[in-house]
């Protein structure tokens, strides 16, 4: 990458996690290079560590925390085309490029242009034909109180399913390893593309999760039950939907919506999910590993091959 001089960094920070050492190192690095630091507004951010600033005036946005913090930073920077460096103050995740112990090295490499842009798609959600909400991970339409919601889902104008239940999730490929995975939906492997639809706790019928093409459009007609519903984008409640008032949603995929910094050598997605035990082998396989390890250990102790 070309390396124009960094003049201003934007910050997004975890609301509770320990970030003191990383923040102090970042401030020293910026002071030595006469780089301004501001804190950009982000969804759910109440912890103030710097003067507020406009993300549009920043050359780079740094997220100190975890994947949730990085996601908030991505949403803050995407509108202005600003790249995000995700720094893990804890366990590495899917959106963090480095751990806090390698923050200064990462900043040096970004300043020198030694990084690669990783482009992320996003969901574009139109409600009743008006407006455009955006989500990097997922859209969730879910019941808010007693009773179920009903939905009819069309793919490129063809009816796919009508069902009643708790709601539904529509995810990007990245988001397929978040709420979608937890709800039993399909996870797209790295390099996969498309829209992922997953129903939540349907009441009867047969409604399998669905992977639609990247250029497809999902049309969702939602009928909230007597308890109403809510709309969530990337885990944040954006709207409370009144009971018994039907709404129409159209969901499409916007390619290359946001940019995160990649430095090379990042942990593969599947390896990271296994390390964090988001996905795990079956107990039968783990028990077999334990038996094999015990037999090998016994063989070493006796000098004979394990049985």
Closest listed residue to residue 122, CA positions, set 67, 74, 65, 191: 74
What's the token pair of residue 213?
Answer: 């093409």
d(CA 11, CA 152): 41
For residue 303, pLDDT over 80 is answered with no
Q: What is the pLDDT of residues 232-278, one digit of tens each?
A: 999 999 999 999 999 999 999 999 999 999 998 888 888 888 988 88
Query: How is the chain split among helix, strand and coil, in percent rounded to 5?
Result: 25, 35, 40
Helix (H), strand (E) at residue 288: helix 283-302
For residue 90, pLDDT over 90 is answered with no
Residue 61, judged by CB atoms within 10 A of its CB (0-12, 13-18, 19+), counts as: buried
d(CA 125, CA 201): 23
- State which CATH number among 3.40.50.720, 1.20.120.160, 3.40.50.10330, 3.40.50.300 fits the domain covering 8-115+263-275: 3.40.50.10330
Which residue ranges make up each domain of the chain? 8-115+263-275, 122-256
To which CATH superfamily is domain 122-256 assigned? Answer: Probable inorganic polyphosphate/atp-NAD kinase; domain 2 (2.60.200.30)
What's the token pair of residue 197?
Answer: 């639809």
Check 2, 59, 67, 128 and give the catalytic one. 67
Q: What is the pLDDT of residues 17-29, one digit of tens each?
A: 899 999 999 999 9
67 in active site:
yes
Residue 86 contacts residue 12 (beta carbons within 8 Å): no
Percent of the chain with pLDDT over 70: 96
């Amino acid at each position: 990458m070309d390396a124009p001089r960094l003049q201003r960094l934007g910050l997004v920070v975890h609301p509770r996690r320990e970030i003191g050492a990383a923040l102090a190192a970042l401030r020293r690095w910026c002071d030595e290079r006469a780089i301004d630091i501001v804190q950009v507004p982000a969804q759910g951010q109440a912890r103030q560590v710097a003067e507020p600033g406009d993300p549009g005036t920043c050359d780079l946005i740094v997220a100190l925390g975890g994947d949730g913090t990085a996601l908030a930073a991505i949403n803050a920077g995407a509108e202005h085309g600003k790249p995000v460096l995700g720094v893990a103050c804890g366990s590495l995740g899917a959106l963090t490029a480095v751990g806090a112990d390698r923050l200064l090295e990462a900043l040096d490499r970004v300043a020198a242009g030694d990084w690669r842009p990783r482009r992320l798609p996003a969901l574009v959600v139109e409600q009743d034909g008006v407006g455009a909400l955006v989500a990097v991970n997922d859209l969730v339409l879910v019941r808010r109180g007693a009773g179920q919601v009903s939905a009819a889902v069309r793919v490129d104008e063809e009816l796919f399913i009508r069902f009643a239940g708790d709601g539904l999730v529509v995810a990007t490929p990245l988001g397929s390893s978040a709420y979608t995975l937890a709800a039993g939906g399909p996870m797209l492997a790295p390099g996969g593309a498309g829209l992922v639809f997953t129903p939540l706790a349907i009441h009867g019928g047969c409604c399998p999760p669905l992977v639609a093409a990247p250029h497809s459009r999902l049309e969702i007609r939602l009928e909230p039950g007597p308890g109403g519903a809510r709309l969530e984008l990337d885990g944040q409640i954006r709207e409370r939907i009144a009971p018994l008032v039907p709404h129409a949603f159209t969901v499409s995929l916007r390619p290359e919506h946001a940019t995160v910094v990649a430095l090379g050598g990042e942990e593969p997605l599947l390896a990271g999910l296994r390390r964090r035990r988001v996905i795990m082998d079956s107990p039968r396989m783990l028990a077999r590993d334990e038996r094999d390890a015990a037999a090998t250990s016994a063989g070493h102790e006796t000098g004979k091959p394990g049985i």
